[in-house]
Amino acid sequence: MRRTLIIGLMLAAAWATQTQAAQTRRWIVDTAKDLLKGRGDGVAVTTDGRLEGVDRWSAIATLDEPVVVAGGLDADGSLVVGTGHPANLYRIGRRGAELLTAVPGEQVTAVLPTPDGILVATVAPGVLWRWRDGRLEEIGRLGEGGIWDLAVHDGVVIAAAGSPGGLFRLGPRGFSRWLEVPDVHARCLATADGTLLVGTSGKGLILGIDRDGRMSLLVDSPFTEISDMVATGDGSVWAVALVGEPPESPTNGKSAAKANGEGDDGSATTEAGSLDLDLPKVNGGTASSELVRVTPEGALLSIHRFSRQVASAVARDGDGVLVGTGFEGEVWRFVDDGGARLASVDAVQVVGIVGDGEILLAQGPAAVLRRAPGGEPGRFRSEAMRFPRPMRFGEYRVDPPVDGLRIRFRTGASDKPDESWLPWTEWTGAATGRLPLPAARSVQWEIELAPGDLVDRIEVAMAEINLPPRLTEVSVEDPGTVYLAAPPPSGPVVDAMHPDINGVFTVIDESTERAAPAAKGKKFYRVGYRTVSWQAEDPNEDPMRFDLEVERRDGHRLPVVERIEGTQLAVDTTAIPDGLYRFVVTASDGPQNPGAALSATASSRWFTVDNTPPRLEVRADGDLWQVRVSDASSPIAQVEWSRNGDRWHPLAPADGVLDGTVESFEFPRQGGRGLVVVRAIDRHHNRATEGVVED
């Protein structure tokens, strides 16, 4: 029983070495790309991938009007802003807001300080005003539409107007129309390297106009309005696009009366035409706004699409740009091709940014906010990092350590933080330490930095919790079935694909064309062998090794092979006595977890080992030969006879069904002297042969 079992290793499965489960991993955040997945309040992400504490905005004036729409810095550095509903002009100083004048109109849309006074634009009506020496004077009026923005191009003041869309300029001869714009409104203006940039509303275009008045199309946005633009030092143009005033809806050939809401009988209709805006998507829903960048070479890049926030203002901020949004009053900072929230303010919408990010204009309430040094520390919250398997957390490290920093952590099971997550840990000022948290699938950190503090890198060490392998199936093939990648050089093997038995002797024909190999290999028969295969997986994707044993019915086990990597074996069962057995497979992840290996064990179905040939009795009975075949363990599979080396003739059992361990047969005797040979084969391919002389 303890003799060594002879085994055949068939088609070992290839196990690619995966990331080590017991090996310490590190979640490292030290690039702008990774940092921009988080969001901050008073902490900026720099282009070189660092966190920087920055000054925050605080309100310096709150106004009674619903909205502060536009503003500009005068030559003396003072801030002048215009409001809407009603339209008023204010100077904002250290003592708060000083009302300069009421402006006739519904809303101030643009404020442009010039050496010759402060220009103020309005809508409803569309008028250009000048505030100078304590007086407000009208210097230009549109016949229809309003003025939306002002800019200086090549030394000349340009006004964006609509509808209809057009550009006006203020020259020596007064205020006059300059160029038509191919859209409903000319909505905003900016200048870059001698080119006037025009953002439109209706189609969402960005147009470029050179000094000679030649117009070109730079951007055709999928949104309907370009609400603001800014040119940066590298020659790029950043713009925010949103769903603004829609283009005029066609009436599809309907009469003017129908377009004005009148039916054929003079009754009112409820629909004058349909408007189908094919707006871009984000996260499966319609995007509300978008930040785009036009490179110096003219390429258009979509930097970020907002799913809820409405981006309405953009301005330079060092090596990046600031974007003001609503509906919760946020300021985002973008560098290169990504961005993160920089701050949230106490307002519904940030509608304007003045002085390269120094001043914010807001509504809900109408307020003016200014960056001020010496404020409270800012905070930055990382993305929630999700791992495919539970992790055990170790040491964290903030590099470089800075005075005054504080950091905290939390973990959870879901992809994004929700009520199921554990509470934040207590704030700690240590730049390195151990996370006091249980194992989890997700982790997040939040850091607090004072203005001017810089952090290059934050890392968290962790290791996967090792989970035991899983054996999902252990299968045993029919007796004698083996799978080989190629035919064997020799041995009692019969090709199961194309057996060709023409006489008493069976041979393997190597010239026979063979089919393509199956997944397990090509199927053959080898007497005395049983093929066992199993399916296993490791939750940690660790490489596994397997031990195979054969267990007798009384529970005694014999080792077959240890520490193999394949998942299929053909085992020579002639080495063990006849009886009932089953295979036992043990999977271990020991190669990847020395000293802490986990294992799983599974068994196959019970199967019979039968290495004993059947008993065969042949006797004459008149004109017949009577044959009785019996087997101690297996049903009889085939009985056949031959006379004088002729071909084999199969015999049918007396009861008509070949299914028992004892079967009877008969066949006629023939005249003349000869040698009659009878062969019996049981289900395990054991053979018995008996010969009798026929006179």
Looking up residue 148, the CATH number of its domain turns out to be 2.120.10.30
Cα 507–chain centre separation: 58
652: in domain? yes
Contact 123, 110 (CB under 8 A): no
| pLDDT at residue 502 greater than cutoff 50 | no
Per residue in 387-430, pLDDT tens? 988 899 999 999 999 988 999 999 999 999 999 999 999 999 99
Q: Which residue from 481, 544, 626, 647 is spatially nearest to 13, judged by alpha carbons?
A: 544
In a domain, 572, yes or no: yes
Torsion of CA 367, 370, 374, 379, to 10 degrees: 70
Q: What CATH number does residue 383 fall under? A: 2.60.120
More confident residue, 291 or 512: 291
In a domain, 342, yes or no: no
At 21, which amino acid appears? A
601/643 same-domain check: no
161 and 303 in a common domain:
yes
- Asked whether residue 458 falls in the same domain as residue 472, the answer is no
Determine, yes or no, domain membership for 473. Answer: yes
Residue 326, pLDDT score: 85
Q: What is the pLDDT of residue 271?
A: 32
Q: Distance between CA atoms of 254 and 272, rounded to whole angstroms?
A: 8
* CATH number reported for the structural domain that contains residue 664 in this entry: 2.60.40.650
Q: How confident is the model at residue 495 (pLDDT cuts 50, 70, 90)?
A: very low
Based on the fold, state whether residues 429 and 530 are members of the same structural domain.
no
386 pairs with which residues across the strands?
442
> Can you tell me the mean pLDDT for 504-519?
37
At which of 141, 166, 187 does a domain end?
141
438 & 541 share domain: no
Percent of the chain beyond pLDDT 90?
54
Residue with tokens 């070495």: 17
Q: What is the DSSP letter of 262?
A: B
In a domain, 373, yes or no: no
User: What is the per-residue pLDDT for 285?
Assistant: 63
**Residue 526 — very low, low, confident or very high, per pLDDT cuts 50/70/90?**
confident
Residue 368 binned pLDDT confidence (cut-offs 50, 70, 90): very high
Per-residue model confidence as pLDDT tens digits over 152-176: 998 999 999 988 999 999 988 889 9
Residue 111 belongs to some domain of the structure: yes
Q: Give the pLDDT confidence score for residue 555 in this predicted structure.
A: 92
Residues 193 and 305 grouped into a single domain: yes
Quick one: what percent of the chain has pLDDT higher than 70? 86
Query: Which pLDDT score is estimated for 13?
Result: 27
Domain shared by 84 and 189, yes or no: no
Question: Which of the pair, 292 or 6, is modelled with greater confidence?
Answer: 292
What's at 349, amino acid-wise? Q
Nearest CA to 440 among 469, 468, 409? 409
The answer on 127 and 80 residing in a single domain is yes
In a domain, 426, yes or no: yes
Domain total for the chain? 5
The confidence score (pLDDT) of residue 380 equals 95
Q: What is the pLDDT of residue 642?
A: 94
Q: Is 645 left (phi over 0), alpha (psi -120 to 50) or beta?
A: left
Closest C-alpha among 87, 80, 90 to residue 107: 87
Residue 503, Cβ neighbours under 10 Å: how many? Answer: 11
Q: Are residues 67 and 209 in the same domain?
A: no
Instruction: Please check whether residue 335 lies inside any domain of the structure.
Output: no
What domain range includes position 634? Answer: 615-694
Separation of alpha carbons 529 and 536, rounded Å:
23
Verify that 132 and 178 share a domain, yes or no. no
Domain finish residue from 438, 464, 490: 464
Q: Which residue has the higher pLDDT, 491 or 506?
A: 491
Of 439, 464, 489, the domain-final residue: 464
Strand partners, 344: 330
With bands split at pLDDT 50, 70 and 90, how would you rate the model's confidence at 275? very low
Average pLDDT over residues 614-634: 93
Q: Which residue in 129, 90, 74 sits closest to 366, CA to CA? A: 90
Q: pLDDT tier at 473 (50, 70, 90 boundaries)? A: very high
| pLDDT given at position 535 | 93
Model's pTM, two decimal places?
Answer: 0.65
- Do 443 and 390 reside in the same domain of the chain? yes
Q: In sequence order, what E strands does 345-488 have? A: 349-354, 359-363, 367-372, 378-381, 385-399, 406-412, 432-434, 440-449, 454-455, 457-464, 470-476, 481-484
Residue 586's nearest CA partner among 561, 616, 611 is: 561
**Do residues 241 and 382 share a domain?**
no
Which pLDDT value is given to residue 284? Answer: 61
- Cβ–Cβ < 8 Å for 245, 258: no
